[in-house]
Amino acid sequence: MGEFSRRMQQALDAVRAMSPEHQDLLAAELIEHARLLAQPPAKLSVEERAELEAGLAAARRGEFASEADVNAMYLRHGLPLG
């Protein structure tokens, strides 16, 4: 593999200054992210792709969910309102 990128080296330098407990927390996160990045991308169904494209088109038009819509979704899924 060789040398780390400059940005990775900066991150490692910052981690070296942390407590061992914080280093272990970050190491666990990094390992999980590396595992996820190594997986092939998810395959979307035709319906999922159409839904995604419709959402992206709405975002490009500046159409976003209202606060009431977001709160309703949270309630439907049993999540606390923020």
Q: Are 4 and 12 in contact (CB under 8 A)?
A: yes
CA distance 1 to 3: 7
CA distance 59 to 61: 5
3-state secondary structure at position 21: helix
Per residue in 32-45, pLDDT tens? 999 999 999 999 99
**In this structure, what token pair is assigned to residue 37?**
């990045």
Domain coordinates in residue numbering, the chain:
6-38, 46-76
Per residue in 52-64, pLDDT tens? 999 999 999 999 9
pTM above 0.85, yes or no: no
CA distance 61 to 71: 22
